[in-house]
Structure formats: C-alpha cells, structure tokens
Chains A and B, each alone.
Chain A
Amino acid sequence: MRQYKRYQNVILCVALLALPFFFLNSNLKDPSHLTSWDRVILALSAPAQHAADAMAEVIGDLWIRYVALVGVAEDNERMRFENERLKEENRQVQLLWEENRRLHNMLGFKEGFPGILVPARVIGRDVSEFYRVLRLRIDEGDAEVEKGMPVITFDGLVGQISRSFGRYAEVMLTVDTKSAVDVAVQRNGASGMLRGTGEIDRYACEIEYLLRGDEVMVGDLLFTSGLAHKFPAGILAGRISRIERQTQGLYQKVRVEPAVDFSRLREVFVVTDFQGHSEEQPTPGG
C-alpha cells in the first residue's frame, strides 16, 4: 500500500508537470504549425483562461476604482471620453480637408483634359491572385460607360472598365495579369506593353516587348503611347523600379511601379471619349 502511495505521488507530480508543458507547447507554437492535438488543448484551456482572466480583471478593477483611486479613476474616465471626442472631431476635420483637396485637384484636372471625363467613386475592391478589380459608382447618372473605357486619376492611369451595369462599373487595374497597355518611356520613346503581375502582396507591373537594345534606367517615367487608340496618349502609367538585363533573346525584363496608389483611391474619372479614339483600331492594349 505504501509502495502504491509512493508511486501514486510520483505519477501525480509527473502528470501535473506534463500538463502545463503541453499547454505551454501549444500556446507558444506558431499558429500555422498547430496540430489537431494543439487545437484541442487550446480549445480546452481557452474558456478556463478567459474565466480566470475575467475574475482577475474584476478584482483589479474593484481595487483600482473603489479602494485605491476613487476620484482619480472618475476624472480619468471623463477626460478620456473628452479626449476621444476631440480626437474624433479632429479626424473628421482632417477627412474633410483631404476630400476637399482631392476634389479641387480633380476639378482642375478635368477641365484641362482633352476629352470627356465622367467622375466616379470607388465603392469596393476585389483583391485576389487572379483579379485586381475596383468597383465604381458613376456620379453622372446619364453617362454611358462601356467596357474598355480607360479609367484615370490626376496621378495617372488606373485601368479600364471591364464590366458596367447601370450606374455601377468594374475596373480592371493595370496590375491585373489580364491588363495590357501600350506605353512609351518618356526619356527616349522606347515602347513596350505594360502588363500586370497580379501579385497578391503588392501592386506591380512589367513591361513586355521592350527591346534589349533600348536603354532604360530605374526611375524612368512611362506614359501611355496611344498606339492602340484604346488609351489617350500621355497618361502617366508608372515608373521603372527594376531592370533585369537579359543576356539572350530580343527583350529585356523591366519591373514597373504603378503611378497610382490603388489602395488609396477614392475618386476616379472614366474617359468616355478622347482625341484619337477609334473603335476600329486593333486593340493590343485592351
């Protein structure tokens, strides 16, 4: 009996050492490497942990509010509320100021553009490995927006309309793998085709069919060439960010950072007509 009792204590000690070890193992593991067993342990420990946490919080709260710092806690709460209110007001003012600045820029841009621009607001974004799409609401109800129409901002080229339905339209961004736009390097006129890379974690494009002999540099600006008559010429499309010189073949590989920060877009313009636009032309850019 004594022997049994002794082993019983040893087993109890080992079990109570092993239990927290397993909990610790599951808690410290990278979430992407959790096994089913780890998930079971975490699921078992979470409710107990939550209850105990809540209890500890209640005790601590009681102490702070009613024993140690009755007056200070109330003052603090009031001032925190006031601070939050002022912060919110400040945020609203900043948003209005930012919107005002954007609209002012857009107005100037629209008046100076050699074509017809229809303003639209961005109402949603789809980001997947295969599609990079913006959803728009057209601000002018009677404007006819059709597939293939270029979409721009005063920063540069955004993409082209891929689908339209009533006052709403979808834009295929220049970073979409299906997007292809004829561009030319501002510095020397070298031309190629801008195609999206479709990367999930960044907005990027590449230039295809840029001849190996064409001298380009990092930082060179790319503008739409207007060759396919699908996009108006002279719209900023991006900036060369990396060049991989090929030792063989006709072309070189050039990486491009788009001119527009797609993640911050709020208002855009759909180009419904522009000088040199012709539906009969071949459309490698679309």
Chain B
Amino acid sequence: MGIGVVVIVIGAISLEVQSLLFHVLPFHDWRPEFVLPMVLFLGLHDPSTGRGVILSFLLGYLWDMFAGSPMGLYTFISVTVYVISRVVGVRIFLRGALFHVFLTLGVTLVSSSVIVLLRFIFGQQVEEVGLLGKIVLPRVMMTAAVAPFMFKMMYQIYLPKVTRRREEPLGVTPGIR
C-alpha cells in the first residue's frame, strides 16, 4: 500500500508541475504529460495487474482533477493506456531509453486518438485534422522526450519495492492476453 501512496504523491506533484508549466511556458502546446509514462511503466513493469490498474485509475482521476476536463476523460485514457501497455509488455521485451521514447510516442498518439474518438462518440465538436495535428504532435513529442526520465525515476523508486515483495520475473506476469 505504501508504494501506491508514493506513486499517487509523485503523480500529484508531476501534475502540479505540469499545470505550472502550462502557466509559465509561453508555448502551451509544448507541454509534456508526466503521468502517461508513469502509467506506461506500471503496465510494463508492475507484476500485479490489480494494483497496476487501480493505480492507473487513481492517477487518471488525479489527472482529471488538474486538467479541468470532463470528469472521467483522463481516467478512461489512463486505464486504456495501462491495458495497452500490459498487452504490449507481455509480448514485447525491450529495454533502453530509445524503446521508452518510441513506446511513449505510440501510446500518446493512441491516447490522443482515443480522446478524439470519445469526443465523437459523445457528440462533441471534433476539430479539423490539421488543428488536431497542431495540438497533438507537440504534446506527443514532449511526452516522449520526458519518458526516459520518468521511467528512470520509477525504476529507482517503484521497482525495488515491488520486486522485493514478489520474486516474479518482469514482463511475464499473467495479465490480459
């Protein structure tokens, strides 16, 4: 339970920094999403699916609070990203910063597409493709750029605690297959 609280606190601090960046940076679109790599890490490396998905849910809920978006949007995105990364994690086994960057790039793109899809499903106005690209691409690139740092932090803080408890190899935990 202790490590779960630590993850939530890190998530809250990351979101606070994220919202501060939004106010401070003159170019708002070029703002990374810190929570997304954290959720990705949980999907790839947490041996317990139950704990991972609950933490992803709570991180997404926090994200919703800070983002001021319709309640449930980022919670849904967060759990979706977790499920996707869980599926990816049991099939692909790669290590290194480059892998983190590319995986985050792909997952952020998918999450942006899910947001557009949800807006379409719920009858909201969907922006033009050009405008979407202008909004999404900077965010995707910045998130991918910070992913190695977030992964490194999670490796150091999270992984020792959870692997000490359960001696299961990484990436082969039974999950959604």
The chain A residues found within 8 Å of chain B, CB to CB, are 2, 5-6, 8-10, 12-13, 16-17, 19-25, 27-29, 45, 49, 52-53, 55-56, 59-60, 63, 68
Against A, the Cβ 8 Å flags (1 = close, 0 = not) of B10-25 are: 0010001001100000
10 contacts between A and B (CB under 8 A): A9-B49, A9-B176, A19-B57, A19-B75, A20-B61, A20-B73, A28-B123, A53-B65, A60-B19, A68-B20
**List of A residues within 8 angstroms of B83 by Cβ:** 13, 17
State the Cβ distance, A255 to closest chain B Cβ, in Å: 35
Residues B79 and A17 in contact, CB atoms below 8 Å apart: yes
State the Cβ distance, B30 to closest chain A Cβ, in Å: 20
Does B104 touch A at the CB level, under 8 Å? no
Name the one of A6, A16, A23, A63 contacting B54, with C-beta atoms under 8 angstroms.
A16
The chain B residues found within 8 Å of chain A, CB to CB, are 12, 16, 19-20, 49-50, 53-54, 56-57, 60-62, 65-66, 70-73, 75-76, 79-80, 82-83, 86, 118, 122-124, 174-176
Residues B71 and A13 in contact, CB atoms below 8 Å apart: no
A-B pairs, top 6 by smallest CB distance, nearest first, are A23-B72, A24-B72, A20-B75, A20-B72, A20-B76, A9-B49
Say what secondary structure dominates the interface of chain A: helix
State the Cβ distance, B19 to closest chain A Cβ, in Å: 7
**List of B residues within 8 angstroms of A13 by Cβ:** 49, 53, 79, 82-83, 86, 176
**List of A residues within 8 angstroms of B80 by Cβ:** 17
Q: A45-B71, A59-B16 in contact; A16/B57 too (CB < 8 A)? A: yes
State the Cβ distance, A205 to closest chain B Cβ, in Å: 38
**List of A residues within 8 angstroms of B49 by Cβ:** 9, 12-13
Residues A27 and B71 in contact, CB atoms below 8 Å apart: yes
Name the one of B50, B76, B82, B86 contacting A8, with C-beta atoms under 8 angstroms.
B50
